[in-house]
Structure formats: structure tokens, C-alpha cells
Amino acid sequence: MCVIRPESLSILAKGSTNVLSFHTIILDVSCCFYITGLHCNGERTTGLVGLAVCDTPHDRLRILYTKILDVLEQIPKNAAYRKYTEQITNEKLAMVKAEPDVQKLEDQLQGGQLEEVILQAENELSLARKMMQWKPWEPLVEEPPADQWKWPM
């Protein structure tokens, strides 16, 4: 529970026009909203700067995980990146489909708030698309030097 300090309430009662007094009140109220997870319009916030609340996290994650799997299908089956990313993505997608409760899903995924998990999925989708361009599973253009990993040189 969040409580506004008595000093702030007395400032309001006196009708003060002091700028510092108003600053104290604003800090109290904004801290109260931050602690309780409420925004001025009554919606919850993530509490993370620049990361907005997603109204439909299950749908968003379902779409992102499906897109990741679609991109991975274009990568050869024997590529390590495809094999392990596909396994992890399928596990996460199954959790999203099975668990309708946001808090329980956050606990199962162990990636922070669902908005953070969405950001991670967006980054994975971006990486999967880049891997398609880079093609790290193809043979090297030329053989590396024999002492490439020797240290110190």
C-alpha cells in the first residue's frame, strides 16, 4: 500500500503556492503510482522506462514465436542454431498456449515481465532473420590459418 506523507497533505490543506511544495506533492503522488504499478489513467505499468504495457501479451508472443519458427524452417535441419532455437521456441510457445494467467506465465517463462519476454522474442526474430543472411552453417570461403587460435602469438 502506498501512503502520501503528512507533509504533502498539510501543504494541500494550506493552499500553498510555493513551487517546492508542489514539487514535494508531485513526487509523493508519482512515487505512489510507481510503487502500486498504476498509471495516472488507471492502467498498470511495467515500471521499466520505455517499455509500455502490452494489452494482449499472449497473442503477441504467439505471433512472434510462430514467426521465429517460420524463419527457422528455412535454415538447414542440421544447423545448431536452428536445432536449439527451435527447441526453446517450441517450449515457450507451448507454455503461452497452455497458461492463460499472466503472472503464472511470467513465472514459467522466467524471463521477467511478459513485456520483457516480448522484447526478447522480437530480438530473437531479428537474429533469426540475420542468420538467414549470414548463413553460418555454410563452409568457410577459405581455410583459417593453422595458428588462428594460438595465444600469445
Give per-residue pLDDT as tens, 101-114.
Answer: 999 999 999 999 99
Unique residue bearing C-alpha cell 542468420: 131
pTM, to two decimals: 0.69
Contact 132, 71 (CB under 8 A): yes
Q: Is the dihedral of CA 90, 94, 97, 100 positive or negative?
A: negative
Q: Which of 20-24, 36-40, 81-85 has the highest mean pLDDT?
A: 81-85
For 96, other C-beta atoms within 10 Å of its C-beta total: 22
For 92, other C-beta atoms within 10 Å of its C-beta total: 22
- Any idea which of 39-43, 48-52, 126-130 has the lowest mean pLDDT? 39-43
* d(C-alpha 104, C-alpha 58), whole Å: 12
